[in-house]
Amino acid sequence: MRPKFFHPGSFTALVCVGALAFAQPRQGEVAKLIALGQQENEVMQHLDHLVNRIGPRLTGSDNLQNACEWALAEFQSYGLSNCRLEKWGEFPVGFNRGPSSGHMLVPEERELHFGTNAWTAGTHSPTRGAALLAPTNAEELEKLRPQLKGAWILVPSSAGRGAARGGAAPEGDAKALRDALQKAYDEASIAGTIHATRNDLVLTGGSYRIAFDKLPKTPSINLLAADFKAVSDLLAAGTPVSLEFDIRNWFEKGPIELSNVIAEIPGSEKPDEVVIVGGHLDSWDGASGAVDNGTGVATTLEAARLLVKSGAKPKRTIRFMLWGGEEQGLLGSKGWIKEHPAELEKISAVLVHDGGTNYCAGINANPPMVKDFEAIFAPVVGLDPEMPFTVREVQGLSPGSSDHDSFLAANVPAFFWNQKGRANYTHAHHTQYDTFDQAIPEYERNSSIVIAVGALGIADLPQLLSRENLKAPRSNRGGGRRLLGVMLDEEMQIDELTEDGIAQKAGLLVGDKLLKIGDTAIADSGELREAMQGAPQKTTVTLQRKGKQLTLGIEFPPVTAGGGGGGGFGRRLGLRFGEGLAIEEVTADTPAAKAG
């Protein structure tokens, strides 16, 4: 109905005033949200509790369940709705890690720095034994056999992981030797095997695909390279060495039920349409899981708290999700998608924070999204001159190795924040240094504000985000799969081969199931990434084809550039890459650093 005293010439002014009046309350919400985030931010308190009181959160461990229940209680305390733990799957065996220690006792006392993979055997008690170098041929094995009982066996890197290789012997001979060594070790009841790390980082991985009636019994230790060299040099010089390890790993009979943590701020106008904010709650357990991904969990919690306390009333529902099983292949997010296919078309966006402690410096946007994103993020562009924010136009959103990839694969707009800053993510990622002190408080506070502002802005858009040309070409998918040139299902079976890719050139076929890269067993995408990271330029891939096991030779291109996030060949070169292969970090004393 026309207002009284209306004049046609005043229509434009009236519309502008009306739009401004509509925008004012929303601008007020954003301003209040930012002020709260700057003045009373609690993100570091969340992180402290998660990583210092609960600790590492391996999928299937007691700690992860404790973290799920704590996060659920936090969401409830903020006043969120529909808070719940939602089951996504089960693991056949649970695994927990207790205290561990290692020492050289003879010829001198020396503390040893090491790790063990998840789902591997512990010692049950302090276990002392002689250190022996692994035999490299059958003759050495027979000579050493009487000394094997209760011994710690050092396996040089040239011998491969888990058994020695006889120099440049043909693969058939090498396999025969490995089998003979394993049989001798089992018969003699050795204390365990010891492998050297490649540098000063102790990486943690592991496969959950074990059975409770066939649990691993012999410890396998990843000893810091410097310590390994000290022990092996003594042995090579003929000096007897005695070692003692106390490793309290233990298993729990499954099935172990696994859940995602979910909570919501209901939409005021379109509650059936959703914006998802989240990160993965699980971690590897070689440290406390601070930057992978405690930081993303903490910012998700704080974004939820800030939105509620600021009184924000988003038009669409904002759903907060903390997924499990990310490190084993995005299992929690994939599980949720599998159970909720009808909800996918109503998801406007998924915002995933899993890039460590560096600040959220930007977001990628397809052309139809750019103007909306520039308006949404305008309040945080100049929030701190030391932490600028940029909306970057791209032709297709890029998948990667985190939970946003699960949603992109289901044709849902999903985003992985572009992050920058002084933190060295590679130094902490899956290593013994993934601890609370790695987190940078000002970055965490800033990121929690950016995430909250972004979620509210997308929830208030007039329309759902466009799905037009949503994904980048499939050949651009990251991680070990991209480097190998394959697309894999959850059982590591090849669904698709990249034309002229490494795998295709090596003779792999669709339907082949990957088993090993070199001597390293791979049971999921995470293990594939780790195996690719450490693989030499020329190696082998072991696969299962129509019930038969085959081993094929593969050759990777020379190391000139690597995958994003500092993984794969980037880590081997000593670089962390951002968008467009722009170098974000150079690790000290690496080939890249030495080359300038």
Q: List pLDDT tens digits, range 196-251.
A: 998 999 999 999 999 999 999 999 999 999 999 999 999 999 999 999 999 999 99
Which pLDDT value is given to residue 546? 82
Range from 169-183, 225-239, 508-522 that averages highest in pLDDT: 225-239
Q: How confident is the model at residue 120 (pLDDT cuts 50, 70, 90)?
A: very high
Query: Is 80 exceeded by the pLDDT of residue 172?
Result: no
Query: Is 70 exceeded by the pLDDT of residue 133?
Result: yes
CA angle 176, 178, 182 (to 5 degrees): 120
Q: For residue range 428-485, what is the model confidence (pLDDT) as tens digits? A: 999 999 999 999 999 999 999 999 999 999 999 999 999 998 987 643 344 455 557 7
Percent of the chain scoring above 70 in pLDDT = 83
| Tokens of residue 383, six digits | 């929030």
Centre a 10 Å sphere on the Cβ of residue 15 and count the other Cβ atoms it contains: 10
Q: What is the mean pLDDT of the chain?
A: 86
Which pLDDT value is given to residue 592? 54
Global confidence as pTM: 0.79
Which pLDDT value is given to residue 582? 41
Domains and CATH numbers, the chain: 27-92+259-459 (3.40.630.10), 108-240 (3.50.30), 476-594 (2.30.42.10)
Minimum mean pLDDT range among 122-126, 161-165, 231-235: 161-165
What whole-number distance in Å separates Cα of residue 422 and Cα of residue 323? 27
Burial class (CB in 10 A: 0-12, 13-18, 19+), 571: buried
Which pLDDT value is given to residue 177? 87
What whole-number distance in Å separates Cα of residue 546 and Cα of residue 384? 58
Minimum mean pLDDT range among 9-13, 231-235, 260-264: 9-13
Minimum mean pLDDT range among 272-286, 548-562, 577-591: 577-591
H-run or E-run covering 53: none
Q: How confident is the model at residue 595 (pLDDT cuts 50, 70, 90)?
A: low
What DSSP character marks residue 438?
A: G
> Tokens 């050495």 identify what position?
140
